[in-house]
Structure 1
Amino acid sequence: MISVIIPAYNAENTILRALESLKKQTRLDLITEIIIVNDGSTDQTEELINSFKSKNSQMNILVINQANSGVSVARNKGLHESKSEWVALLDSDDEWLPNKIEIQWDYINKNSNIDFIGGNHIESPLVILGKKVTTLYRPSIKDLCIKVFPQTSTVLFKRQIFEEIGGFDISRSYCEDAQYFYKIALNYGYYYIPEQLSIYDGGKQGFGSSGLSANIKEMNNGMKMNYFELYEQKHIKLSFFLFILVFNELKYWRRILLARLAK
C-alpha cells in the first residue's frame, strides 16, 4: 500500500521524533514499509535508528547506509527500493500528525483522479494571491510558481510516477523538490487538501530557519532556475515568466527582512 521514505543526515536530534510520529499513525496498517536512507551521518543517527528498529520489530523498517550524497540521491535511493503502490515522503526533522495517512487515504478512495496529494503543514490556511484554499484543490502551474506547495513531508503519490518520470534532480541542491513537483503537476492528478498533516521542523517557519532552507539567497536562485526551465519548455508564457521573476524577487527581500527580524 504505502512505502515511507526518510532521508537522514546528522539527524540525531530529530529522527526519533519523526519515527514516533509514524508509529502513532491511526492507519499504521496502511504503511507496508519504512525506508530510512542514512546519508553518511557522522553523529548518532544510525545508532538511534537501529535502536528504534530493534524496539519496534512490528514495523517493517529498512535501513540503507550510503556515503553522503545529498537529499535528492537519498530520496531517489528510497524510491528505487520501495515496493508499494504509493510512496510518502518524510524528512528526518519533520513529523506527521497522527491522522495524516488516514485523511489522505480517505481522499484517495473518494477521488480516483488523485495521483499525488499533499496538505498543510501549519494551522493557518494556504493563501494564493489573497485567495484561501479551503477544499480539495488542483493547482495550476501558475499557482505553484506563485507559492510552492505542499510542503514535502505532507506528500503521498503513486510510485508509478517515479517509474515514468524518474526522481529528483541530483544536480540540484536547492528547490529540487519544487522542480520535481512541477513535473508531476504538469503530467498527473496533483491535488492539495487544506487539513494540516505535518509539523515542519518542530514548528519553525519554512525558510531561514535551518538546513538548506536557511540559505535564502540560494533558494531564490533555485526558484529562478525552475522558472527558466518552465519557460524554456513552454509551460509558461513570457508575460507570466517576467511577472514571476519580479514577484519572486519581492518575496526574496521580504524573507530576508523577516529572517532578520526573527533573530
Structure 2
Amino acid sequence: MGKNINEIKFSVIIPAYNAEKTIYRALKSVTNQTFVNYICEIIIINDGSTDETKSIVEQFKDDNIEFNIKLYNKKNGGVSSARNLGIKKATGNWIALLDSDDEWLDNKLEKQIKVIENNCNVDFLGCNHTDEIVRIGGHPINKLYKATVKDLCVKMFPQTSTAIFKKEIFNKIGGYDESRSYCEDGQFFLKICEKYNYYYMPEKLIVYDGGRRGFGVSGLSGNIYKMQKGAMENLKELRQRKAISISFYLLMIVFYQVKYIRRILICKMEKNEKNTDVCK
C-alpha cells in the first residue's frame, strides 16, 4: 500500500471490542479493496477485549505483512474513545471508518474515490448499507446528494462504516464525545454537516452486521430507549448552537416521539411473531 499520484491517502479506523467472531471478515474486506493502493494504513483499536480479538488481529497482521496494519491495545473506554485514538494516530489525509462487525464490498473505496476525484468540494461522503432507498420527507435520494443539518434531523444517514472524510475535519472540530454511548455517530456527523460539505451516494457498498436491521436487534443499537434519548440530546445541542430554528426543533420533538413509538411497535410485533413460530 502507498500513496497515489493524487495524494489521497486513507487511514482505515477499526474499533474492536470482543470481536473475535467478526474482526477477520472486517479486515479481509479492507485488504480485498480494488483500490487498496489508496490505503496507507489499517488501524485497529482493541478496546480492552477479553476474548481472542487481539490474537486474531496479530495473526492477520503476520499473515498480511504487505499491508501497513497497526494494532493499538487500550483499556476499555467505549467505541468513541477507540475511534478518537485511531483517528489521532492516523497519518492519512482521509479517514475511512469501519466497525468490526461490518464488511466493505470489494469496490467500496473505488466507488467513493471516483466521486471525490470528480467532485473536489466533497469533505465527507457516505453511502448506503441496505437495499432500502433513503428518503427525506418522502423524496427518494437516488443520486449524489449534498445533505443539510435538517435532512440529518429527519433521517440520520449514512451508517458509520460507509463514511469517509478529510482528517482535517477531525483536527478542527474535535472528535467523538467520549461521554456518549448512544447516537454519538449522529452527534459527530451533525457537527460535520454544519460546517462542511456533507455528501451521500445512494449505492449499497457495505454489509452491515451480517445484514441485520439497525435498531432493536443487537449491540448498542438494541436499546431503543437510549437511542431515542441520544437522538433527543443531539437535537437539543443543535438548538443550543442555533443550528436549527425553534419551530423546527419543536416539530422534530414530536416527530421523534412518533418514530420512537413506531420502533417499539415493530420490535414487539416481531417478538410476538417469533414466539408464535416457536410454539408451532
Note whether the superposition's TM-score is higher than 0.5: yes
Match of 1:222, SS?
A: helix
Match of 1:245 in 2: 253
Match of 2:211 in 1: 203
Counterpart CA distance in 2 for 1:255 and 1:81 is: 38
**Runs of 4 or more above 4 Å deviation:** none
Residue 101 of structure 2 is aligned with which of 93, 107, 126?
93
Determine whether 1:58 maps to 2:54.
Answer: no
Counterpart CA distance in 2 for 1:262 and 1:155 is: 30
Counterpart CA distance in 2 for 1:257 and 1:100 is: 34
Match of 2:13, SS?
A: strand
Match of 1:149 in 2: 157
Counterpart CA distance in 2 for 1:180 and 1:84 is: 20
Determine whether 1:158 maps to 2:166.
Answer: yes
Deviations 1:157-205 (A, max 9, x none): 0000011111001111110110000110010111000111211100000
Match of 2:72, SS?
A: strand
Determine whether 1:71 maps to 2:79.
Answer: yes
Identity of aligned residues (%): 53
Determine whether 1:227 maps to 2:268.
Answer: no
Q: Is the 8 A contact 2:148 2:198 kept in 1?
A: no
Counterpart CA distance in 2 for 1:157 and 1:235 is: 21
Return 5+ residue gaps in structure 2 as ranges.
Answer: 1-8, 272-280
Counterpart CA distance in 2 for 1:24 and 1:127 is: 31
Match of 1:254 in 2: 262
Q: CA deviation at 1:261?
A: 2.5
Q: CA deviation at 1:113?
A: 0.6
Counterpart CA distance in 1 for 2:206 and 2:259 is: 24
Matched letter for residue 126 of structure 2: G
Deviations 1:129-184 (A, max 9, x none): 21100011011111100110000000000000011111001111110110000110
Deviations 1:195-254 (A, max 9, x none): 112111000001111111001000000000001111111111111101101111111111
Match of 2:199, SS?
A: strand
Give the aligned CA root-mean-square deviation in angstroms: 0.8
Q: CA deviation at 1:124?
A: 2.1
Q: Is the 8 A contact 2:124 2:196 kept in 1?
A: yes
Determine whether 1:171 maps to 2:179.
Answer: yes
Matched letter for residue 165 of structure 1: I
Instruction: With the length of structure 2 as denominator, give the TM-score of the two structures.
Output: 0.93
Counterpart CA distance in 1 for 2:170 and 2:148 is: 21
Counterpart CA distance in 2 for 1:35 and 1:253 is: 39
Counterpart CA distance in 1 for 2:52 and 2:148 is: 42
Match of 2:220 in 1: 212
Matched letter for residue 261 of structure 1: M
Instruction: With the length of structure 1 as denominator, give the TM-score of the two structures.
Output: 0.98
Counterpart CA distance in 2 for 1:168 and 1:113 is: 24
Number of residue pairs aligned between Structure 1 and Structure 2: 263
Match of 2:13 in 1: 5
Counterpart CA distance in 1 for 2:252 and 2:218 is: 26
Counterpart CA distance in 1 for 2:108 and 2:209 is: 16
Q: CA deviation at 1:260?
A: 2.2
Match of 1:128 in 2: 136
Residue 184 of structure 1 is aligned with which of 171, 183, 192?
192
Q: CA deviation at 1:262?
A: 2.6
Counterpart CA distance in 2 for 1:84 and 1:64 is: 17
Counterpart CA distance in 1 for 2:255 and 2:55 is: 45
Match of 2:146, SS?
A: coil
Q: Which has the larger radius of gyration?
A: 2
